[in-house]
Amino acid sequence: MSSTESEPEEAITKEEITQQVSAPPPPPGKMGSSSQTATATKPRNAFTELMKPKPHPPPPDSKHSHPSTASKLTRAFKDRDGLGAYLADPKAFPSSRVIYHNEGFVAIHDLYPKASVHTLLLPRSTKHNRLHPFDAFEDIEFLATVRVETDRLKNLVAKELKRRFGSGSRKEIEREQALATAGEDSDETQLPPGRDWLAEVKVGIHLHPSMSHLHVHVFSRDMHSPCLKHRKHYNSFNTPFLVDLADFPIPKDDPRRHPRLGYLDRDLVCWRCGKNFTNKFKALKEHLEKEFEEWKTE
């Protein structure tokens, strides 16, 4: 794929491919200083917390990142090859972009997030990472490593949701109150479990990816983002265009292997209440704002 034109069956726009649309500011407080936290403990950044027990290689933060190298890389890896920049030198990027990296993977924040937390997992294996996901995940051993790492990132996204929205969540408040009443000797089995944040995280791969390097989307299902601007943005994450990682390897006779299934042109259906907005994107966007406010308080 070398064209910068976006095809009808692609989830992103030409402006996103060529980075001609401005990206939103990095996640609030670099994922770390929000006062919205469910517990009385100091608010912490779930992503940087993960890095703590792993002193080698050093966590990618502003102390270790190299802004000039990062911008050179961004210029060198253009358009559909843009994700290659993070694979080439993840250390060059700040933690507001690269969440973590290890021998096998680089985890990043999506540049144009379509949900309140939207990350991408990029496998580093050069044997696999320029293949179409259908082909790359025919390799069962490789698929198994991607599943393990995706679970790790999924847990981080869930922790980040709790950090951002926990203080307003009814289930978290119930738990906090029960904990406060029971005191330090509280019996965990008797306490309300709190909110299942993992259930709010989706993991999948677009049937027809736009970016050349293999990537797994790991994101919160709220669809709350200023970057969500088109029907195809929404439908690419809320129709079978998004293939759950659990579905791989995809059987040879699976209809999803047919590239032109029209998933992106489907009616717009609210992920939360199921209301059909047909092709009225603006109405869906307004509705999603209300759903988001309610979803946060669950």
Residues of this chain that interact with ligand AMP (CB under 6 A) are 11-12, 16, 82-83, 108, 110-112, 206, 209-211
- For residues 13 and 21, is the Cβ–Cβ distance under 8 A? yes
Give min distance, CB of 241 to ligand AMP, in A: 9
Buried/exposed 147-172: b ≥16 CB within 10 Å, e otherwise: bebbebbbbbbbbbbbbbbbbebebb
Give min distance, CB of 114 to ligand AMP, in A: 6
Nearer Cβ to ligand AMP (210/235): 210
Nearer Cβ to ligand AMP (175/213): 213
Nearer Cβ to ligand AMP (162/206): 206
Residue 176: C-alpha distances to residues 37, 38, 197, 298 (Å): 11, 8, 16, 14
Nearer Cβ to ligand AMP (38/108): 108
Cis before 26 (ω within 30): no
Phi, psi angles (nearest 5°) of residue 139? -80, 105
> What DSSP designation does 6 have?
P
- For residues 243 and 205, is the Cβ–Cβ distance under 8 A? yes
Give min distance, CB of 258 to ligand AMP, in A: 17
Give min distance, CB of 76 to ligand AMP, in A: 12
Give min distance, CB of 79 to ligand AMP, in A: 9
In whole angstroms, give the CA distance from residue 80 to residue 22.
17
Nearer Cβ to ligand AMP (158/228): 228
